[in-house]
Structure 1
Amino acid sequence: MFGGGGMNPRKMKQMMKQMGIDVEELDAERVVIETADGDDLVFDGAQVTKMDAQGQETYQIVGSPDAVADAGAGGATAVEGDEADDPALDDADDADDGDDGIPEEDVKLVAQQAGVSKEAAREALEAANGEPARAIADLQ
Structure 2
Amino acid sequence: MFGGGGGGFDPRKMEQMMKQMGIESEDLDATEVVIRTPDEELVFADADVTKIQAQGQETYQIVGEPETREAGSGADAGEDAAIEDADIPADDVEIVTMRTGASEDDAREALREADGDLATAVEKLEAEPK
Shorter-normalised TM range? 0.5 to 0.7
Q: Residues 95-134 of structure 1: matches in 2 within 5 Å?
A: none
Corresponding residue for 1:18? 20
Q: Which residue of 2 aligns with 1:55?
A: 56
Larger radius of gyration: 2
CA displacement at 1:58 relative to structure 2: 1.0
SS of 1:6's equivalent in the other structure is coil
Percent of counterpart pairs with the same letter? Answer: 54
Superposition misfits of 4+ residues, deviation over 2 angstroms: 2-5, 72-77, 79-88
2:19 alignment partner, SS class: helix
Alpha-carbon contact 1:42-1:69 (below 8 Å) kept: no
Amino acid of the structure 2 residue aligned with 1:9: P
- Which position in structure 1 is the counterpart of 2:108? none
The answer as to whether partners of 2:36 and 2:71 remain within 8 angstroms in 1 is no
Question: Secondary structure of 1:28's partner?
Answer: coil
Corresponding residue SS for 2:58: strand
Q: CA RMSD in A?
A: 3.0
- 2:85 & 2:67 partners in 1: Cα distance? 15
**Displacement after TM superposition at 1:66 (Å):** 2.6
Aligned residues: 85
> Which runs of no fewer than 5 residues in structure 2 stay unpaired?
89-103, 106-130
Residue in 1 aligned with 2:44?
43
* Structure 1: segments with no counterpart, 5+ residues: 89-140
TM-score of the aligned structures, taking structure 2 as reference length: 0.53
Cα gap change, 1:81 to 1:12, in 2 (>3 Å): same
2:2 and 2:10 in contact (8 A); partners too: no
Structure 2 SS opposite 1:10 = helix
